[in-house]
Amino acid sequence: MSAKLLRAAQAGTVESNDIMISVSPAEPGSGCSVTIVSPVLKQYGRQIKAAIEAGVKEKGIEDIIIHANDKGALDCTIKARLNVAILRAVTEEEVMTR
C-alpha cells in the first residue's frame, strides 16, 4: 500500500526524551530524505535514521522529506511521533478526528 502526503505536518515536542518530527511532501521519485538533529547523533544517529526509515517503509510512503529534532527519544517514541506526523500529513482536513 502506498500513501501520499497531502501537506507538511509535525508531531512531538522538543522536551527531554521526545523527538519532534516534521514531514513534508517530496517530488515523485525523490525518495526518503532524512535530516536529524540530536545531542546523541554521534552515538545513535544511525539508529534513529534506521528507525525513521523503517517507519516510513511500514507506512508505504516512497517520497517524503523528514526533519527530526531528537531529544533522546526511545525507538518506540520515534515510531509514535513519526506515525502521527505522517497521519496528519495524509489525512484530509475535514475527516481528521484527533
DSSP 8-state secondary structure symbol assigned to residue 91: S
Which of 5, 12, 52, 61 contacts another protein by CB under 8 A? 12
Q: Does 40 bind another protein (CB under 8 A)?
A: no
Q: Does 94 bind another protein (CB under 8 A)?
A: no
Q: How far is the CB of 73 from another protein (least distance, A)?
A: 6
Q: Are 64 and 24 in contact (CB under 8 A)?
A: yes
Q: Does 3 bind another protein (CB under 8 A)?
A: no
Location of C-alpha cell 545513535: 44
Q: Does 75 bind another protein (CB under 8 A)?
A: yes
Q: Does 15 bind another protein (CB under 8 A)?
A: yes
| Cα–Cα distance for residue pair 58/95, rounded to 1 Å | 23
Q: Are 69 and 37 in contact (CB under 8 A)?
A: yes
| Cα–Cα distance for residue pair 26/3, rounded to 1 Å | 12
Give how many residues touch another protein by CB under 8 A.
20
Write out the residues near another protein by the rule CB under 8 A: 11-12, 15-18, 73-77, 79-81, 83-84, 87-88, 97-98
